[in-house]
Amino acid sequence: MKTNGLTKHILGTVDFIFIDQNKCNRCGQCILVCVANLWRKIENVISISEDYKESCLECAACYQVCEADAIEFHYPSGGTGVIYEKG
Amino acid sequence: MNTYDIIIVGAGPGGSMAAKTAADLGLKTIFFERGRKPGEKNSSGCGLGPRMWKDFPSMMKELTPEKCPSMRAGSAARNYFINQEGIVAGYVMARPTESVSYEPAKSWITMNCYRSEFDPWIAEFAIDSGAELKTSTLITDLLKKDGKVCGVIDEHNNKYQAPIVIGADGAVSMVAKQSGLRTKWAQDQITIVPQYDFQASPEKIDDIMGDETLAVWWSAIFPASYQVFFHDGFHQGLGNWLNKWDKNPLYYLNRVISLKYYQRLLRILNAKPRELQSHLLPWLKYPYNTHTDGIILVGDAGGFPCPLEAEGIYPAMVTGKAAAQVAAEAITSEDCSKSFLSKYDKVWKNTSIGEEFEAGEELYNLWKALPFSPQETMSWFVPMFMEVMGGIYDWSQPHAKRVRQIASQIKFYMPKALPFIIKYVFPLVAKIFEEDLDKMMDPQKLMSVIPKVMDLIPKKKKPRRDDT
């Protein structure tokens, strides 16, 4: 279990968010809506922070908002990921 | 191969209700939860509506503080009105009114408790009825044979077989996607809802809030924000459709927190932020694509949250129950085709959820245009409303003159208010009353009549008899 400010995560998941740079149109909507502030645009390339597995709130807004269908999302491995004790 | 009569993906209130109903009907039932226990992954308001006690009385009477220590009744609701300057221009407190017809709705508006307690509690009913719960299990795909759904597969390639699968797997439903019912929601069908949980001592909440333990912060500078008090803390959250954000949702939530009034509330409650949460919440005018061959969607997965303010747990329970009933009939008839399962639509439409969606489009439109349009609508709504509510408590002029000033100010807002009323309020009234409201609805007539009525209000005091 990793506590990071106001979030808790159980580590050990496989990767669960992927971005296809060939499909991405750099619109930046994923950056706009991510509550955990995990997306970056550096030199016109959009990417997710390397340690996203320890910070992602699993809302899937990035996946939902992407009209280019460049973001693939599934939930983290069973029994891992964000924990809401007071959800 | 693990073989069942019915498989339910998701152990939230919808999945657990489906699992309980299926097991009670004698079906060999399994339901899956990706967290280590139900509720561990869920965040919501979370206020339980009194209709749950009306529709599921024997279950709900067992919801006690011993089982769910976070319980607190939202007996009265505060409505704060925040103007463009970020000032609380006023607030209205309301408790259940005289026309509310049954208990416990007469006593409270919502019963608040954390999902980490509520979801395991409701899953226990399904387990007691004989359903098998498998936790820490991520279902990643549907199992198909000759193109027909015959079960599910988990991330470790374990296969579970059943003629029917119920998708109770929330807003981002794998079951909806893999069955072809929906790849993604349209941007105006899905909202994002960030929320903070604050810790505060039960005694402070009792002393300061009393039983006013539900609040909506209506505002001209952020989309309406809800506040729900639990035994030892509270949620502050807000949402809007995904295509409505011009800045990060958290920016707007932080605007609530940084209101001077809110900071004072945090100080006197001695409240400390405890958790940050975020979830997607479907918010539709009307649910559609709710089923296909061998598949039924319930709760958030099916788009069932209330079209006005997106209450989700009660609709999930009602549709979960309806889905399991129809599934049981399908299994008995050995026909799990889309055509047979269309009965599901007939069943839920006949419940109070169906009744709610009868005016779904009008309710949705009104909510979208009012509390979720801070700049466009709330910027004039708040000062106009407060002119009516608060204008009279003023000693700056003789009272009669104040009334004329207030009337004149309301008239100033009429060019914005009238089109709004015609566009959003009248269609809703017409839908609800289903009467011939043509005369009332005629915009031209209204625009011509109402300003004249306003003109009737004298601008100057008539000379008194002894003045002449």
Of the candidates B114, B242, B274, which has its C-beta nearest A6's C-beta? Answer: B274
- Beta strands B29-32; B6-9: pairing state: parallel
CA dist B201 → A24, A42, B195, B198, B269 (Å): 47, 44, 19, 10, 8
Q: Which token pair is A14?
A: 């496989």
Do B339 and B376 have their domain in common? no
What is the mean pLDDT of the segment spanning A42-61?
Answer: 97
Report the alpha-carbon distance of residue B87 to residue B189 in Å, rounded.
31
| Residue B452: predicted pLDDT | 65
Distance from CA of A67 to the nearest CA of B (A): 9
Do B280 and B260 have their domain in common? yes
Do B171 and B56 have their domain in common? yes
Do B197 and B135 have their domain in common? no
Give the N- to C-terminal CA distance of chain A in Å, as an integer. Answer: 17
Q: Which of B49, B14, B107 is nearest to B308 (CA)?
A: B49
Report the alpha-carbon distance of residue B313 to residue B48 in Å, rounded.
7
Do B199 and B147 have their domain in common? no
Do B97 and B51 have their domain in common? no
Report the alpha-carbon distance of residue B443 to residue A72 in Å, rounded.
47
Q: Do B138 and A77 touch (CB under 8 A)?
A: yes
Do B155 and B218 have their domain in common? no
- This prediction has a pTM of 0.93
| Residue B93: predicted pLDDT | 95
Of the candidates A59, A74, A84, which has its C-beta nearest B40's C-beta? Answer: A84
| Residue B432: predicted pLDDT | 87
Q: How does pLDDT run along chain B (468 residues), one tens digit per residue?
A: 699 999 999 999 999 999 999 999 999 999 999 999 999 999 998 889 999 999 999 999 999 999 999 999 999 999 999 999 999 999 999 999 999 999 999 999 999 999 999 999 999 999 999 999 999 999 999 999 998 999 999 999 999 999 999 999 999 999 999 999 999 999 999 999 999 999 999 999 999 999 999 999 999 999 999 999 999 999 999 999 999 999 999 999 999 999 999 999 999 999 999 999 999 999 999 999 999 999 999 999 999 999 999 999 999 999 999 999 999 999 999 999 999 999 999 999 999 999 999 999 999 999 999 999 999 999 999 999 999 988 888 899 999 999 999 999 999 999 999 999 999 999 998 888 875 566 666 677 667 766 666 666 656 666 666 654
**Bridge partners for B192 per DSSP:** B240, B280
Do B383 and B456 have their domain in common? yes
| Residue B457: predicted pLDDT | 62
| Residue B440: predicted pLDDT | 61
B69 DSSP assignment: T
Total number of domains constituting chain B: 3
Of the candidates B155, B247, B277, which has its C-beta nearest A77's C-beta? Answer: B155
Q: Do B34 and A79 touch (CB under 8 A)?
A: yes
Q: How many percent of chain A have pLDDT more than 70?
A: 100
Report the alpha-carbon distance of residue B306 to residue B359 in Å, rounded.
11
CATH of the domain at B131: 3.50.50.60
| Residue B437: predicted pLDDT | 63
Parent domain of B408: 363-467
Do B98 and B137 have their domain in common? no
Of the candidates A59, A76, A86, which has its C-beta nearest B116's C-beta? Answer: A86
- Is the ipTM of this structure higher than 0.90? yes
| Residue B393: predicted pLDDT | 85
Total number of domains constituting chain A: 1
Lowest-confidence region among A20-34, A59-73, B81-95, B431-445: B431-445
Do B345 and B392 have their domain in common? no
Boundary (domain end) residue, out of B226, B259, B286: B286
Orientation angle between helical segments B260-269 and B249-257, nearest 10 degrees: 70
Do B95 and B238 have their domain in common? yes
| Residue B434: predicted pLDDT | 74
Candidates A30, A63, A86: best to mutate against B (most CBs of B within 10 A) is A86
CATH of the domain at B233: 3.30.9.10
Helices marked H in B258-306 — which ranges?
260-269, 299-302
Q: Do A60 and B197 touch (CB under 8 A)?
A: no
Parent domain of A9: 2-83
Q: Do A33 and B249 touch (CB under 8 A)?
A: yes
Closest chain A residue to B194, measured at CA: A35
Report the alpha-carbon distance of residue B357 to residue B157 in Å, rounded.
39
Task: Please answer whether residues B274 and B280 qualify as being in contact, where contact means their C-beta atoms are separated by less than 8 angstroms.
Answer: no
Boundary (domain end) residue, out of B336, B358, B380: B358
Do B29 and B163 have their domain in common? yes
CATH of the domain at A69: 3.30.70.20
